[in-house]
Amino acid sequence: MISSTAKPGSLAEAVQTGRMNKRAWLITVMLVLFQIIAFADKAVLGLVAQQAIPELGISTVQFGFIGSAFFFLYAIASVFLGIWAGKVPIKWVLLAMGLSWAILQFPMLFGGGAAVLLVTRILLGGAEGPATAISLSSAHSWFRPADRSLPSNLIAIGSTLGPVVAAPLLAVVIVNFGWRWAFGVLGIFGVVWTIAWFMLGADGPYGGKRAKSSKTETHHGLTALESETAARAEASTSAPGPDSAEQDKLAGIDRQQRVPWRAILTSGSFVVAVFAGFTNFWTQGFLTTWSPKYLAGVVNLSPEMVAVFFTFPWLFGAAVLLALGILGRYLMRRGLSVHKAIGIPFGVSLALAGVSFLLLPATTGAASVVLLTVAAGCSVIYPMAPSAMAYAVGPRQRPVLMATLGGIASVGAIISPTAVGLFMDNAGYRTPSPGQKDTVEMIANMTSGVHQSFGVAGLLLLTAGVLSVFFLNPDRTGQRLQRKYAHDADTESTVGAKH
């Protein structure tokens, strides 16, 4: 039982006094910053492209390959770190990831060449692979099910704000100190965040981790301490109202028992979420690797304006995520299903992105910037996919499920940068010599290649959007799996207890 005289400043005291929500939002802010750093790390490659490609003496295809290399270990690391996060406090997983990110930035600052850039990007991708999944798992451990949509989308907004923050800051750094210092600055920010997280980070009462003060698990997979803590947190953050019955049903999501991984990973909702995530990562791969070069060459913007316009899709994406997060929280608090509150809005946004990408080749100048902003902004909302799928399983399986989803979906970002480079190469584009600018012919060839990639992205996103609207239904998936497998789990637990 939780003592009525809990230690001052402890989580137990925060729950008892109703101040738990303040701690929850502090952790959310830290996780938003975590995502900002992660996506700034991804965006830096595209921002240094104009200077780095000629200095390193590589072609567009080779540069695209380096962009793809970021995701080579992404899937494998996502799964393994997700499993680790399911067994140890998530605080320590995030701490290890943040420290790794910081360290891996410094080799390029100190004179690394193309080979060093390739290796560090591969290792960095492995260390950042499960960032979204682990961040969401951490946030979900602090909020009751009905309230998770908004903090989840705020964390997702952090991913869109990464390039927004990075672009102007790193543009100034590149102009004044050289492109290598862009990596150094990110390394310094990573160190600062890691120190802050070490002092402030923690796991919440809904995380399902084994409590130190009790080794006995209930048949729901939570310890007695965790169950009481979550119940008190529920009482401290809930207000009675007409949706109380639905809130009780949602609260049961955190008491779901383990189900076979084969059943989860072959469910229709998971397959659709993976495909939708694949299309999101495809767009991310283009934006972080080629978008600045597209804006400089095809749209003919100056380096300073590239840094400004590069932020537009990410800012628009942040606005979309904020709006969908508020909408999802509103709808779920009024009893609507996860499918209607998260799945359908997510699918509609992807479909709009797909149509916009398909229309892009028919536009030029300012119109192309506007359409690219809408297309990319509506498609960089990947965290909504694992956030939705989190409702299909209990807290002990949640980190692994979300990390696995992100790992498989990240294949889109492996293919995309190299594919765009190949489209440009096949269209006849060749990188100019150091100190030279693209000719009119080369710009035309670049335009042709990039427009082909827009067509592919548009078809993928439109298809994923339609499928999500109809089939991304994680709460129904969770209910079906519990009906099918929970009885067996109860029987096994009972037999084990007798023996």
CATH number of the structural domain spanning residue 479: 1.20.1250.20
pLDDT (0 to 100) of residue 435: 66
Radius of gyration of the chain measured on its C-alpha atoms: 23
Percent with pLDDT over 90 in the chain = 19
Count of domains for the chain: 1
For residue 35, what are its two tokens? 């995502």
Residue 462 has pLDDT above 90, yes or no: yes
Across 130-146, average pLDDT:
81
Distance CA 317, CA 326 (A): 14
Region for residue 113 given its phi and psi (left: phi exceeds 0; alpha: psi -120 to 50; beta: otherwise): beta
Residue 11 maps to a domain? no
Please tell me the pTM assigned to this model.
Answer: 0.68
Rounded mean pLDDT, 238-266 = 66
- Sorting pLDDT into bands at 50, 70 and 90, what band is 235? very low
> Is the pLDDT reported for residue 249 higher than 90?
no
Q: Is residue 20 assigned to a domain?
A: no
Instruction: Provide the token pair at 355.
Output: 């149509």
Would you say residue 7 lies in a domain?
Answer: no
Strand (E) or helix (H) holding 31 = helix 20-47
Contact (CB, 8 A) for 400 and 83:
yes
DSSP 35-55: HHHHHHHHHHHHHTHHHHHHH
Judge whether residue 226 has pLDDT over 50: no
Tokens 């049961």, residue located: 252
Res. 305: pLDDT tops 60: yes
Which has the closest alpha carbon to 39: 143, 171, 164, 216?
164
Question: What is the full DSSP assignment across 278-322?
Answer: HHHHHHHHHHHHTHHHHHHHTS---HHHHHHHTTHHHHHHHHHHH
Domain that holds residue 223: 27-235+245-498
Does some domain include residue 80? yes
Residue 118 lies in a domain: yes
The CB-side HSE value for 393 (13 A sphere, CA atoms) comes to 27
325: in domain? yes
pLDDT: which is higher, 200 or 252: 200
In a domain, 259, yes or no: yes
pLDDT for 251 equals 56
Instruction: Provide the pLDDT for residue 302.
Output: 72
Question: pLDDT band at 364, cuts 50/70/90?
Answer: confident
With a pLDDT cut of 70, the percent of the chain lying above it is: 83
Q: What is the pLDDT of residue 17?
A: 54
Q: Report residue 79 as tokens.
A: 């799964």
- Helix/strand/coil for 207: coil
What is the pLDDT of the chain when averaged over all its residues?
Answer: 78
Which one is predicted more confidently, 146 or 158?
Answer: 158
Question: What confidence category does residue 346 fall into, taking pLDDT thresholds of 50, 70 and 90?
Answer: very high
- The predicted-structure confidence for 19-53, as pLDDT tens digits, reads as follows 557 788 899 999 999 988 887 887 788 778 778 88
Taking the C-alpha atoms of residue 48 and residue 234, their distance in angstroms, rounded to an integer, is: 48
Check: CB of residue 289 under 8 Å from CB of residue 420: yes
Report d(CA 152, CA 135) in Å as an integer: 9
pLDDT of amino acid 434: 66
Instruction: List pLDDT tens digits, range 404-450.
Output: 888 888 888 888 888 888 888 888 888 777 667 777 788 888 888 88
61-75, 107-121, 213-227, 242-256: segment of lowest average pLDDT: 213-227
pLDDT at position 18 is: 53
When pLDDT is averaged across residues 78-101 and rounded to a whole number, the result is 83
Q: What is the pLDDT of residue 216?
A: 36
Q: Is residue 4 in a domain? A: no
| Mean pLDDT, residues 221-237 | 41
What is the predicted pLDDT for the residue at 351?
A: 96
- Write down the pLDDT at residue 468: 96
